[in-house]
């Protein structure tokens, strides 16, 4: 199976893109609702949780891992790569590639959790590709709890977005990277606030396309993954909540059975 994890429901935006692009493969998802948000935690804690999440997904049959969380990718990708001998995909690389290729004037804004912005990973990766580009980053720590709570179109959410996006508007960014997989759920509000001419980048489809290319080029790996005919996709969470069920339904456009995961690390 293709194993996907995030700190909560945000990674389901990535799971949905993979489900749509690669319908022949079976997915197993884990959302760490009991310990969300990750973005305000230290890199060590995020790394430890990420390893536990991968162990859980492996125990459920995953043979390839997608880190559908920027905070986890920025804090733990190196540790995951050195600890596990299996194909690992993450959301930051595809977002960077897309932003660099689409930005008309090289003024890229990045919004993300504190952990992601503090890591400086976006600036580093963008400037590795284009040293002449300018990157303006803005941590948005209140957005993940708002999304987890299902406050997707509230006046308060719009007010907070106005405040977070004001410095990026002032810098006249031409491209804005959604550096957190929860933010696509606020994409319309974000696009409206930042302005219609700014390209808003959500990496989920680019990641799904990259994964598809990899599987086509590596049939030996593809053969280790179960086909979707073997059963439905599995969506586990470390705490089953009503808000998560509602958000999951909104993301997929259908009810999603959230299964309790009780044997994850030290939860
Ligand atoms: N979806 C996660 C990300 O992409 C949110 C992290 C969090 O829990 O703060 O960063």
Residues 107, 49 share a domain: no
> What letter would DSSP give residue 226?
P
pLDDT of residue 266 exceeding 80: no
| Number of domains the chain contains | 2
Report yes or no on whether pTM surpasses 0.75.
yes
According to DSSP, residue 100 is labeled H
Q: Which residue has the tokens 């959410």?
A: 157
Looking at the fold, whether 32 and 63 belong to one and the same domain comes out as yes
Quick: pLDDT tens for 32-74.
999 999 999 999 999 999 999 999 999 999 999 999 999 999 9
Residue pair 252/16 in contact by the 8 Å Cβ criterion: yes
Among all chains, which residue has been given the structure tokens 């709890």?
145
Yes or no: say if 87 and 221 are a contact pair by the CB < 8 Å rule.
yes
Query: Among residues 202, 226, 243, which one ends one of the domains?
Result: 202
State how far Cα 189 lies from the chain centre.
18
- Domain end call among 158, 177, 202: 202
Q: Which of 74, 95, 113, 143 to mutate to test the pocket of ligand 1 (most atoms within 8 A of CB)?
A: 113
| CA separation for the pair 8, 136 (Å, rounded) | 26
List the domain range (segments joined by +) for residue 187.
Answer: 92-202
| Residue 3: C-alpha distances to residues 47, 61, 69, 226 (Å) | 17, 8, 13, 11
CATH of the domain at 242: 3.40.50.1860
7 & 68 share domain: yes
Q: Which two tokens stand for residue 12?
A: 């389901």
* 138-169 residue pLDDT tens: 999 999 989 988 899 999 999 999 999 999 99
In this prediction, residue 262 has a pLDDT band, given cuts at 50, 70 and 90, of: confident
Report pLDDT digits (tens) over 4-14.
999 999 999 99
Establish whether 51 is a catalytic residue.
no
Q: What is the pLDDT of residues 209-218, one digit of tens each?
A: 999 999 999 9
The answer on pLDDT for 170 being more than 80 is: yes
Question: Minimal CA–CA distance to 25: which of 258, 218, 246?
Answer: 218
Tell me the CA–centroid distance for residue 220 and ligand 1, in Å: 32
Task: Write out residues with Cβ below 6 Å of ligand 1.
Answer: 6-8, 10-11, 36-39, 69-71, 113, 116, 144, 180-182
Beta carbons within 8 Å of 189's beta carbon, 6+ residues apart: 152, 153, 157, 158, 161
End-to-end, the C-alpha distance of the chain in Å comes to: 24
pLDDT attached to residue 138: 98
51 and 139: one domain? no
Mutation test residue for ligand 1: of 16, 39, 251, the one with most atoms within 8 Å of CB? 39
Give the SS3 label for residue 86. Answer: coil
CA of 129 to the centre of ligand 1 (A): 25
> Taking Cα atoms as reference points, which of 177, 197, 184 lies closest to residue 125?
177
Q: Which member of 2, 9, 46, 69 is catalytic?
A: 69
pLDDT in tens, 219-256: 999 999 989 999 999 999 999 999 999 999 999 999 99
Q: Please give the Cα distance from 57 to 11 (Å, whole number).
A: 14
| Cβ 218 vs Cβ 31: under 8 Å | no
| 140 noted as active-site residue | no
pLDDT digits (tens, 9 = 90+) for 64-98: 999 999 999 999 999 999 999 999 999 999 999 99
Asked if residue 265 lies in contact with residue 57, where contact means CB atoms within 8 angstroms, the answer is no
85 and 208 both lie in a single domain: yes
State whether 111 and 67 are in the same domain: no
Instruction: Name the active-site residue from 1, 66, 161, 180.
Output: 180
266 domain residue, yes or no: no
């Amino acid at each position: 199976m293709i194993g996907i994890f995030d700190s909560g429901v945000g990674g389901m935006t990535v799971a949905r893109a993979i489900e749509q692009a690669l319908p022949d493969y079976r997915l197993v998802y884990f959302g760490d609702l009991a310990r969300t948000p990750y973005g305000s935690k230290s890199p060590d804690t995020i790394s430890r949780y990420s390893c536990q999440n991968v162990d859980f997904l492996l125990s459920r049959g995953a043979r390839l891992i997608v880190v559908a969380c920027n905070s986890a990718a920025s804090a733990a990708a190196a540790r995951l790569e050195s600890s596990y001998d299996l194909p690992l995909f993450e959301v930051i690389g595809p977002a960077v590639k897309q932003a660099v290729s689409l930005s008309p004037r090289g003024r890229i804004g990045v919004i993300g959790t504190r952990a992601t912005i503090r890591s400086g990973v976006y600036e580093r990766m963008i400037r590795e590709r284009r040293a002449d580009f300018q990157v303006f980053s803005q941590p948005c720590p209140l957005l993940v709890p708002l999304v987890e709570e299902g406050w997707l179109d509230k006046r308060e959410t719009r007010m907070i977005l106005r405040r977070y996006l004001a410095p990026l508007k002032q810098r006249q960014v031409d491209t804005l990277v959604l550096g957190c997989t929860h933010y696509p759920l606020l994409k319309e509000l974000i696009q409206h606030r930042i302005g219609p001419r700014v390209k808003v980048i959500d990496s989920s489809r680019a990641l799904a396309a990259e994964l598809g290319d990899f599987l086509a080029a590596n049939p030996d790996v593809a053969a280790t993954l179960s086909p979707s005919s073997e059963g439905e996709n599995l969506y586990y969470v470390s705490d089953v909540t009503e808000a998560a069920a509602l958000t999951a339904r909104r993301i997929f456009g259908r009810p999603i059975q959230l299964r309790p995961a009780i044997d994850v690390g030290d939860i």
